[in-house]
Chains A and B, each alone.
Chain A
């Protein structure tokens, strides 16, 4: 038995619990290999923006301190970023259920570092989604709002969409298969209509408008538009976001525990 190996009880433990940018790079490469995810979260929102955001009938109409084209651009960026992060969350549950997390548990990777790697990966795709839509906006010359608004809305969309990783995590545990992305895509389409991302809620009839204000993307959509819309700040937006976030998180935690108990 080699003494060299036993003496290795003094072997070093990796820094940062095993978090390395090289691993994030591998995760991003993996993500890019999954074309469907890239198309749905980066390409589709740009196409939606080009379809809805440049319409001469209303694009130049006033919206808060900017115009409707800018408002649609923010909505589409949010749609893409939320999709990116939901998929990122679902990947975690699928990896857990497939046993990859078990494989990682016999490495020095700390759970916190694992979450950090996944978060940074999701945020990278989320950033790509936001940047793609905003670049389309800049190039088209249609959206108009103060410079600060471009930065503020982009930052809010990018950071706020991270919360939807909890939704992906929940759905991933609920339907543990690689087809989970389709379900997430469909659910987010409904949420986006409910949240007013595709059609302004003002065009909904009153009962539907009330119903819509209880759907999961409503609060976040209102919040990210706040720097642009500049209406009265409504605390129910935060309440909507907080309640749904709590629901997704506890749902995921519940399924996680049930799954852990089974193994």
Chain B
């Protein structure tokens, strides 16, 4: 499972639209499993739960799934996807009478029909309550465990942290980070080492391996680095530093740091980012 994160307007939905062949790239080409995106969709290799995909309110849940199942050739039986999405019990309910979470699970059921190799979810839990989100993710996770690639765009960082094996962060259409949630966290900020050290030799501190940023506030120094152990060892062994404190940033802060447009304070070093 891959989480696809970025602030509003970073290009998440645009990327998903291009992968699905809903939009074409302004330059360059897109290929999905070596095929043209629209071809991949026609053959059921890729499917998606769209953020703004509408449903027909005057069909029942089962009829909606039947409708889409008639469109695919290689497909899973409608009963099976209803079951997997956890909506078999409400199969005869009119779509217009379903809650937001139930409608979202219906979209998920529809996306499972072609048995795709890649499943894209665009802000899948937006507008769901906590319980709806939990049961939605448990259905998705169960499915991904069987070997399907699931890519989801989300605003909820805790979802990325909890469910993704890999996190890709984009800003203004560029990838700024790509790794596990822990790696991305470390990438943005690593840890901050704070100590009381009057007359600190900033140049020497900056020369330490993994140090990204050194800041003095009166008698205090704040050093942001990827290897806090080394910095701490240096401070304690080779300087008069005291009151040493090490803290790490959460994914949320890493997200803000990596994706803010005017955040030079936490600007990551360029060689790490493509």
Complex alpha-carbon distance, A101 and B63, angstroms: 16
A26 touches B73 (CB 8 A): no
B264 at the interface (CB under 8 A from A): no
If the complex has contacts A6-B117, A9-B33, A95-B54, are A106 and B47 also in contact, measured as CB distance less than 8 A? yes
A243 at the interface (CB under 8 A from B): no
**Interface of chain A, main secondary structure:** helix
Complex alpha-carbon distance, A187 and B112, angstroms: 43
B52 touches A99 (CB 8 A): yes
Identify the stretch in A13-21, A69-77, A81-89, A220-228 within 8 Å (CB) of chain B at 4 or more residues.
A13-21
Complex alpha-carbon distance, A2 and B58, angstroms: 37
**Interface of chain B, main secondary structure:** loop
**How many residues on the A side are at the interface (Cβ–Cβ under 8 A)?**
32
B244 at the interface (CB under 8 A from A): no
A105 touches B22 (CB 8 A): yes
Nearest B-chain residue to A27, judged by Cβ: B67
Chain A residue contacts of B45, Cβ below 8 A: 5, 8-9, 11
Of B44, B46, B50, B148, which is within 8 A of A103 by CB?
A: B50
A233 at the interface (CB under 8 A from B): no
Nearest B-chain residue to A102, judged by Cβ: B53
A13 touches B42 (CB 8 A): yes
Q: How large is the interface on B (under 10, 10 to 19, 20 to 34, 35 or more residues)?
A: 35 or more
If the complex has contacts A5-B45, A99-B52, A103-B55, are A12 and B74 also in contact, measured as CB distance less than 8 A? yes
B22 touches A106 (CB 8 A): yes
Nearest A-chain residue to B67, judged by Cβ: A26
A14 touches B50 (CB 8 A): no
B182 at the interface (CB under 8 A from A): no
Nearest B-chain residue to A14, judged by Cβ: B73
Nearest B-chain residue to A178, judged by Cβ: B57
Complex alpha-carbon distance, A13 and B40, angstroms: 10
Complex alpha-carbon distance, A100 and B59, angstroms: 12
If the complex has contacts A14-B73, A99-B52, A102-B54, are A30 and B43 also in contact, measured as CB distance less than 8 A? no
Please give the distance in Å from B272's CB to the nearest CB on chain A: 28
A236 at the interface (CB under 8 A from B): no
Chain A residue contacts of B59, Cβ below 8 A: 26, 30
B71 touches A109 (CB 8 A): yes
A34 at the interface (CB under 8 A from B): yes
Please give the distance in Å from B24's CB to the nearest CB on chain A: 13
B270 at the interface (CB under 8 A from A): no
B56 touches A23 (CB 8 A): no
Chain B residue contacts of A33, Cβ below 8 A: 58
A1 at the interface (CB under 8 A from B): yes
Chain B residue contacts of A2, Cβ below 8 A: 117, 147
Complex alpha-carbon distance, A103 and B106, angstroms: 12
Complex alpha-carbon distance, A95 and B33, angstroms: 31
Complex alpha-carbon distance, A242 and B162, angstroms: 61
Chain A residue contacts of B22, Cβ below 8 A: 102, 105-106
B54 touches A103 (CB 8 A): yes
Please report which residues of chain B, range 120-161, place their CB below 8 angstroms from some CB of chain A when the two chains form the complex. 147-149
Chain B residue contacts of A30, Cβ below 8 A: 56, 58-59, 63
Chain A residue contacts of B107, Cβ below 8 A: 103
B193 at the interface (CB under 8 A from A): no
Chain B residue contacts of A18, Cβ below 8 A: 70-71
A22 at the interface (CB under 8 A from B): yes
B63 touches A26 (CB 8 A): yes
Contact with B along A26-68 (1 / 0, CB 8 A): 1001100110000000000000000000000000000000000
Complex alpha-carbon distance, A104 and B50, angstroms: 11
A108 at the interface (CB under 8 A from B): yes
Contact with A along B11-24 (1 / 0, CB 8 A): 00000000011100
If the complex has contacts A5-B115, A5-B117, A26-B59, are A11 and B74 also in contact, measured as CB distance less than 8 A? yes
Please report which residues of chain A, range 78-119, place their CB below 8 angstroms from some CB of chain B when the two chains form the complex. 95, 98-109
Complex alpha-carbon distance, A18 and B72, angstroms: 7
B90 at the interface (CB under 8 A from A): no
Contact with A along B166-182 (1 / 0, CB 8 A): 00000000000000000
Q: Which of B21, B70, B73 has the most CB of A within 10 A?
A: B70
If the complex has contacts A18-B71, A22-B70, are A99 and B44 also in contact, measured as CB distance less than 8 A? no
B9 at the interface (CB under 8 A from A): no
B240 at the interface (CB under 8 A from A): no
Please give the distance in Å from B102's CB to the nearest CB on chain A: 16
Chain A residue contacts of B42, Cβ below 8 A: 13, 108
Residues of A within 8 A of B (CB): 1-2, 5-6, 8-9, 11-14, 18, 20, 22-23, 26, 29-30, 33-34, 95, 98-109
Q: Given contacts A8-B43, A33-B58, could you give 8 more A-B pairs where the C-beta distance is less than 8 Å?
A: A6-B33, A13-B42, A14-B71, A26-B70, A103-B54, A106-B41, A106-B47, A107-B41
Query: Please, could you name 9 A-B residue pairs with CB atoms under 8 Å apart, sorted by A?
Result: A5-B116, A8-B115, A8-B117, A18-B71, A22-B66, A26-B70, A29-B63, A105-B20, A108-B71
